């Protein structure tokens, strides 16, 4: 990740559900889309994404099927109904989190200049 390590912690599920809510995709494509959508900020390793996808499927937020299209076999993931509502919850959580950080980081902007 170009934004620095560790920042992602706890937000990955939301991001994966976010890209997949748009339209289904296989793991490799998820990584690319995440990189594109974030303008390069999220450049995740496969070892980060695949286990997370598996976990989300195990928890019923994603479902997968093997693509029947010719060429390399791909596991295509879709967001389930439960996944959609989980994403919606994640969005709310993210908003409060971001707002809280903004408040803490923002309120001392003025005092910063006077140092």
Partner DNA sequence: TCATGTGCCTAGCTAGTCTAGGCATTGCCT
Partner DNA sequence: AGGCAATGCCTAGACTAGCTAGGCACATGA
CA distance 81 to 62: 9
State the distance between the two ends of the chain, measured CA to CA, in whole angstroms: 32
Partner touching 35 among a second copy, DNA, none, CB below 5 to 8 Å by kind = none
- Residues 10-69, interacting with DNA (CB under 7 A): 10-13, 26-29, 44-48, 50-54
Evaluate whether 56 touches 75 at the Cβ level (below 8 Å): no
Q: Is the dihedral of CA 2, 40, 66, 84 positive or negative?
A: positive
Count of residues binding a second copy (CB under 8 A)?
46
Interaction site with a second copy (CB under 8 A): 2-11, 14-15, 18-19, 21-23, 34, 37-39, 41-42, 81, 84, 87-88, 90-91, 93-94, 96-105, 107-108, 111-112, 115
């Amino acid at each position: 990740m170009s934004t620095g390590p560790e920042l992602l912690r706890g937000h990955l599920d939301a991001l994966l559900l976010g890209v997949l809510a748009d339209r289904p995709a296989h793991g490799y494509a998820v990584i690319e889309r995440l990189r594109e959508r974030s303008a390069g900020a999220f450049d995740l390793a496969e070892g980060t994404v695949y286990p997370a996808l598996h976990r989300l499927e195990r928890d019923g937020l994603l479902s997968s099927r093997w693509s029947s299209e010719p060429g390399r076999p791909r596991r295509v993931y879709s967001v389930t109904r439960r996944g959609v509502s989980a994403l919606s919850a994640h969005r709310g959580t993210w908003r409060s989190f971001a707002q809280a950080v903004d408040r803490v980081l923002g309120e001392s902007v003025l005092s910063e200049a006077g140092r």
